[in-house]
């Protein structure tokens, strides 16, 4: 009880010193308070704020790091982030703070914020020529955002500069695979050109990337580039095999068959293409054409030792027509080549019986007109050109890959639009913030922000706002506003931040633009409420009072509207004129 009483007296004493501007004395009082209750985090944070006012930044850092460590250890990452942001403002050159912030943002799922902090660390290491540490940071950035191509390319270049060629080649390959998935042929061409410069002994870079995509089952992303490779080099057997595999994965049997036809045009003695074409025709249950292809290729396949595959094809045809003489004869030839005496005897007996029962029958397909193998022509459904040997421009131009060291890894500039068209008024209101002189810290990499947690950005914005870090709060609310369900609330809070940092007129101007009929009752009241506070701050109390009355008439229970109106009325009742004073 005595300890508590002493603590309360010290707190009261510190408050008096603070109100008088005697921060040194207040800090000494808090030193005694912390000694009494070292686990009181809120008191330690107040102590740190006093130390900052006393210009004792190093001592303040020790206290703030203790506070932040407590929050982080207990999973309160947003609170820890807000404390470290305060430290970062005190010690802007200390990259260890940026690194800690990056890790905390990463743990909380704020990917763009984490990348922004990592980038600050990377730039510092790069300026100090600490290549090893810079490389480690790039690798961490890649792990945070595996889909970010600019970071991957930067990492690949760094690996190459360090002589880590295997690592560079692997990262370039992953980058190319992502570009193929996104259909970005322009950047892909630059990556291919860069790889050719760095690795002249690896001419099959794109083929290897496409092979990996097919292995992963992503044939759709690979098919366009495979066709381009065939146009530029139709004599590449590996590409033919890969494109056939891709069409199979895409479940396009017609294109598989036509690909085999083209394949045989360039490699007429290739057994794999022969078997593939016959199998495709058999799968279409086209008995006559399958038998015609067998007449053409069977001897080559038997001499090549493809007996098992031939037997499977003939058995499939036998199921289509069990009493077909040509099919039975083909099975006997395969069995003879394999030396399977039992199978030969059984098939010969079946053939003799069939000829005895139907002596005039040669085969059940004889009545069908033989169908010639269609030429390898283009149809709108196949995707192959009429003349595949016609060369079209490939991606092999000698294009330098442009990687600007000072570029923010693909940050796109957002254009401003100050129009307030009714049909997109929320977009227009959002655009009004883009002309602000805020130092934007958020790093956007394509559509990465779509995957971030808008609620986390909102909560972090609230934490920054409460600590008076209004620039950081504005950035967080701006990112959270990408969630349509939170957009109006975030726009209002951005106006609050502008007002709190002294831009009252700008804040009220944007709030007026936001006050449109499309708002819900709660949203409309919130806008009017903040407008009222803005007008109060500007000394326009009559307008503020009128707005509060408007809110009260439609939503009497809104926030502290009742107490504010009572306070305003009390103030008015004590506001005597000169004439009133003369009566006393």
pLDDT of residue 424: 63
- Let me know if residue 172 belongs to a domain: no
pLDDT of residue 359: 55
- Let me know if residue 576 belongs to a domain: yes
- Let me know if residue 325 belongs to a domain: yes
What's the pLDDT band for 379 if we cut at 50, 70, 90?
very low
User: Residue 324: which CATH number?
Assistant: 1.25.40
pLDDT of residue 425: 64
Contact call for residues 416 and 431 (beta carbons, < 8 A): yes
Name the more confident of 412 and 97. Answer: 97
The highest-confidence range among 193-197, 464-468, 558-562, by mean pLDDT, is: 193-197
Of 92, 119, 137, which residue sits at a domain end? 92
Same domain, 44 and 108: no
pLDDT tens for residues 308-347? 999 999 999 999 998 899 999 999 999 999 999 999 999 9
Q: Is 398 left (phi over 0), alpha (psi -120 to 50) or beta?
A: beta
CA 479 – CA 414 distance, rounded (Å): 13
pLDDT tens for residues 108-133? 989 989 999 999 999 999 888 888 88
The secondary structure of 200-264, three-state, reads CCCCCHHHHHHHHHHHCCCHHHHHHHHHHHHHHCCCCHHHHHHHHHHHHHCCCHHHHHHHHHHHH
- Let me know if residue 199 belongs to a domain: no
Same domain, 348 and 456: no
Of 50, 69, 92, which residue sits at a domain end? 92
- Let me know if residue 354 belongs to a domain: yes
Domain count, the chain: 4
User: Residue 9: which CATH number?
Assistant: 1.25.40.10
Same domain, 354 and 430: no
Can you give the residue range of the structural domain that contains 15?
A: 1-92
What's the pLDDT band for 368 if we cut at 50, 70, 90?
very low
Q: Exposed/middle/buried for 416, CB within 10 Å: 0-12, 13-18, 19+?
A: exposed
The secondary structure of 47-81, three-state, reads HHHHHHHCCCHHHHHHHHHHHHHHHHHCCCHHHHH
CA 279 – CA 267 distance, rounded (Å): 17
Same domain, 327 and 340: yes
CA 26 – CA 195 distance, rounded (Å): 64
Query: Residue 150 corresponds to which tokens in the numbers above?
Result: 């600019």
- Let me know if residue 412 belongs to a domain: no
Same domain, 88 and 99: no
Same domain, 429 and 578: yes
Question: For residue 582, is pLDDT > 80?
Answer: no
Question: For residue 526, is pLDDT > 60?
Answer: yes
What's the pLDDT band for 384 if we cut at 50, 70, 90?
low
Same domain, 539 and 470: yes
Same domain, 567 and 465: yes
Q: Which helix or strand (DSSP H or E) is residue 336 part of? A: helix 325-338
- Let me know if residue 295 belongs to a domain: yes
Chain mean pLDDT for the chain: 80
Same domain, 448 and 463: yes
pLDDT of residue 272: 93
Least confident of 226-235, 256-265, 467-476: 467-476
Of 326, 361, 379, which residue sits at a domain end? 379
Name the more confident of 31 and 496. Answer: 496
Same domain, 495 and 556: yes
Same domain, 512 and 375: no
Phi/psi of residue 321, nearest 5 degrees: -145, 90
- Let me know if residue 139 belongs to a domain: yes
Question: For residue 439, is pLDDT > 60?
Answer: no
Q: Does the pTM exceed 0.85? A: no
Same domain, 324 and 360: yes
Contact call for residues 500 and 510 (beta carbons, < 8 A): no
């Amino acid at each position: 009880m005595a300890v508590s009483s002493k603590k309360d007296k010290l707190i009261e004493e510190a408050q008096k010193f603070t109100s008088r501007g005697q921060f040194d004395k207040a800090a000494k009082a808090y030193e005694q308070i912390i000694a009494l209750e070292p686990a009181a985090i809120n008191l330690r944070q107040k102590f740190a704020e006093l130390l900052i006012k006393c210009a004792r930044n190093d001592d303040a850092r020790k206290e703030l790091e203790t506070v932040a460590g407590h929050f982080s250890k207990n999973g309160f990452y947003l609170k820890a982030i807000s404390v470290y942001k305060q430290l970062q403002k005190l010690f802007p050159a200390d990259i260890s703070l940026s690194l800690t912030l990056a890790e905390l943002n990463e743990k909380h799922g704020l990917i763009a914020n984490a990348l922004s902090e990592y980038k600050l660390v990377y730039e510092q290491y790069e300026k100090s020529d600490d290549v090893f540490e810079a490389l480690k940071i790039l690798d961490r950035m890649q792990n945070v955002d595996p889909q970010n191509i600019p970071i991957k390319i930067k990492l690949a270049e760094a690996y190459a500069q360090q002589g880590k060629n295997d690592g560079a080649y692997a990262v370039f390959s992953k980058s190319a695979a992502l570009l193929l998935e996104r259909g970005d042929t322009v950047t892909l061409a630059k990556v291919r050109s860069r790889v050719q410069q760095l690795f002249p002994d690896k001419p099959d870079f794109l083929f290897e990337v496409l092979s990996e995509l097919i292995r992963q089952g992503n044939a759709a992303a690979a098919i366009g580039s495979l066709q381009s490779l065939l146009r530029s080099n139709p004599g590449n057997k590996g590409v033919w095999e890969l494109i056939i595999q891709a069409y199979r994965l895409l479940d396009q049997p017609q294109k598989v068959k036509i690909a085999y036809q083209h394949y045989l045009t360039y490699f007429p003695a290739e057994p794999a293409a022969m078997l593939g074409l016959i199998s495709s025709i058999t799968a279409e249950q086209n008995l006559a054409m399958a038998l015609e292809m067998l007449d053409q290729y069977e001897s080559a396949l038997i001499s090549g030792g493809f007996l098992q595959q031939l037997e499977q094809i003939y058995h499939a045809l036998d199921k289509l027509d069990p009493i077909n003489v040509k099919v039975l004869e083909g099975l006997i030839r395969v069995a003879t080549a394999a030396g399977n005496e039992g199978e030969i005897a059984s098939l010969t007996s079946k053939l003799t019986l069939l000829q005895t029962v139907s002596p005039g029958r040669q085969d059940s397909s004889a009545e069908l007109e033989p169908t010639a193998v269609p030429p390898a022509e283009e149809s709108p459904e196949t995707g192959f050109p009429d003349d595949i040997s016609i060369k079209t421009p490939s991606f092999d131009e000698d294009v330098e890959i442009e990687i600007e060291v000072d570029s923010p890894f693909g940050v796109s500039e957002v254009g401003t639009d100050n129009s307030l068209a009714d049909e997109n008024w929320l977009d227009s209101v959002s655009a009004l913030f883009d002309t602000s002189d805020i130092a934007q810290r958020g790093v956007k990499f394509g559509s990465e922000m779509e995957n971030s947690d808008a609620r986390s950005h909102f909560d972090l914005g609230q934490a920054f706002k409460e600590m008076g870090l209004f620039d950081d709060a504005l950035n967080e609310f701006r990112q959270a506003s990408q969630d349509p369900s939170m957009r109006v609330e975030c726009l209002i809070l951005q106006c609050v931040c502008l007002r709190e940092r002294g831009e009252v007129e700008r804040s009220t101007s944007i709030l007026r633009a936001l006050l449109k009929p499309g708002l819900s009752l709660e949203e409309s009241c919130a806008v009017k409420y903040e407008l009222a506070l803005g007008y109060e701050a500007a000394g326009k109390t009559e307008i503020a009072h009128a707005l509060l009355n408007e809110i009260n008439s439609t939503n009497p229970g809104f926030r502290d509207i009742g107490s504010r109106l009572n306070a305003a009325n009390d103030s008015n009742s004590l506001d005597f004129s000169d004439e009133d004073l003369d009566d006393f």
